Structure 1
Amino acid sequence: MSIIILFKHVLQMDVSQLNGVLRMKADEGQLRSALEHFNSVTDDLIQAYQLLEAQVAELNVKLQLANDELVAKSVANEQLAARLSTLLQVMPAGVVELDDAGRVVAMNAAVHGWLPDVQPGQPWQLGDHFHESERDGVYVRKQDAMQLFTVVACPLPGAGSFLLLVDVSNLHQLHQQLAQQERLAVMGRMAASLAHQIRTPLATALLYAANLQRDDLPPEGRSRFAGKVINRLQALETLVQDMLRFVRIGPVRDGMESIRLSSVLSELEAVVQAQLAGKQLQWHLQSGEDAAVLGGRSDLLGALVNLLENACEHAPRGSVVRLEAGVQQGFYVIRVIDQGAGVPEQVESQIFDPFFTTRANGTGLGLAIVKRVVEDMKGSIAYKHDDRGTVFELQLPVVQSNHTI
């Protein structure tokens, strides 16, 4: 502002001198008017400059406030980064930071403890440190086969990625212990149920055997009692076999084979003929496209026999027992259908549970065994009752194989 005022004074002095020179040659009124206009413009310029100075001062204050706020935020961000860095170092999970080229940028203390050979700047290859286990998504550390990990990649768009390594060894051990406890509990319930189921046929067999010792027993009576003893002993053998089949844990990998279903159905029909004839049941087999499934042949045959025996048990005398089979959407579907009344609706959800039965002489293991065999083959089983009657439907995944049985 001082420069403009000085400029004004200089102009005013120059104009005064010019007035003295031109006073005789120019109109004094016009010159005075021009000087007044110049003074007015100069005053406006000074006012505008003063207003500009005020605005600059206000902006300087706002800029200082913004600057202070940015400094405060920067300090807060640094403190947060320090806390996060400390947390990453002490957390039990491992974190590896990779750049766009897949090289290690940084890692926390957990990773350094597990993989001491990994250094910043090295390329990261999962296979250098881990190999896959039999469980999906779980890896085994090469230096310690007992240590299991899950590895999750978290990509950062345009800025590399993070790897999260979690040691799940203890969790796996807890799962194993829980499974063992569950198996022991199941075996305890099985032993109690088996003892109850064995007691009746065993007592009956002993009674029949005692009658065989009678001296006055005629030959036909001796033959009849002997037949009843054999029948009761066979019932006991069935109970024991059901128990042994049920307690088997998981599929037998060494016995897995590619099974051609057409041969199984032919054998199945021969096996159940006696049960069908005993109740004068009609047999109807409807099979479509043949296929192969992966599993244990004897287990699958036993499961299907179990279902058909169950159908024969509940089907009315003289009715039809049906078996429908064929390929549907990558699965081999088998339906066993009888015209029985089915189970009450309120217990439908329990029919595959071990030891659940609606029969007085049943073990409650038949359908549980069928379900286990089907699930071992990566399939599924379902029950429903509709206008066709009682329907058990099995779905087994079809496999491609160059060798079928």
Structure 2
Amino acid sequence: MDQELVENLRKVGIPYINDIPWGTHICSFFGSKSDLLGIVVPYFKAGLENNEFCIWVVSEPLDVSEAREALEAAIPDFQSYTEQIELYNHRDWYQVSELDADRIVQAWITKLKAAISNGYEGIRVCGSTVWTDFRSWKKYLDYEAKVENIIGSLQTIALCPFQLEKCGLLELLGLAQIHDFTFISCKDPFSYLNSMVNTDRFELIGKMAASVAHEIRNPMTSVKGFIQLLQGDKDLQKYSSYFMLMIDELERANDIITEYLSIAKPRVRNVENHNLNEILTTMLLLLQADARKEDKDVILVTGDTADILVDPREIRQVILNLVRNGLDSMPSGGVVEIRTSMQNNEIVLEVEDSGHGIPEEIQVHLGKPFVTTKEHGTGLGMYVTYNILKSYQANINIRSSNEGTRFIIRFPSAEGGNSDYICRYKSG
């Protein structure tokens, strides 16, 4: 290793990290407040003891007073360093009206120049902020990338801590990519990581879509309006088939956006006892109207059933998704049959179509986003369906052949058989 580089290695202070050179940009993920203090306090203690000017931009879950108290408790002679360290609230440091990466980077450089002119060897900083949506997250990522691009040539060490529960896979991977190295300090990191793998990566896609949906839909609405205006021009009648195709494609794009939004949009559940037969009866005319547009049909055969503890809006969404998928899979003349019954204290809902069936290799992955048999499908409708049913502890079975597909869904009865399920939703 270069002799000059070795001589200029800096003590990090964090037990499991070796000495590092100036210009190192560190990313850490922490679980709890104590995890965060276990990283940052020894990090600054090492900086103070090695003649570095220190700056801590404090953000959740700490405030400035808590951060100062932690430093005072861990560093017996902390009062002798009060001119060597500055603490800021993250809102004061990062934001005026919104994150301005150029301004903040310049502020770091100004602090570095002042520190060196005052006899310090460099600066040691710690800071991160929070993002509320995809736009602010993207701005923060751009800021971190700018820091990474310039920090290598500066007498600066930067630590950026992030709370695991505030991060999904999108943030986790994005932040790790633009730092020199990354570590996790958490008593049980796998509980966070498993949760991310199972759910967050797809929910984040929905959140991203929710943030930009209005920006996409506004121009789409304008384009559709102009196309409809052109449709009314007699001189352009020869292009009518093209206009119809364009409108169909715009509507398909809008449907995809709607599916993404159904993942992202938070909804307060209104869970009460409802009878599945009553929910289906109120939907039947709508389902049949959809089917008969394409010379297909939907029939309903109900048996006696107990009530189920659900939000009826979610159950309607499940039924709508299953029936429409069945209709899409069938040629003209096809029929989707919906049946209800009571079996072993469970309410059974069956939706059966006479379509082309679902291949076995697709069946095992149904309920995951982007798994679909449709040429232009996203699989998000089934993802939402499976998540809703899973939240009600309903069991889903599929029987499929080249003569059709039957979904068999078993709900626990609200009258008994699953008290944990009932209590959980009554208390919510």
Which range, TM-score by smaller chain? 0.3 to 0.5
Q: Rg: which structure is higher? A: 1
TM-score (norm 2): 0.45
Structure with the greater relative contact order (CA < 8 A, sep ≥ 6): 1 or 2? Answer: 2
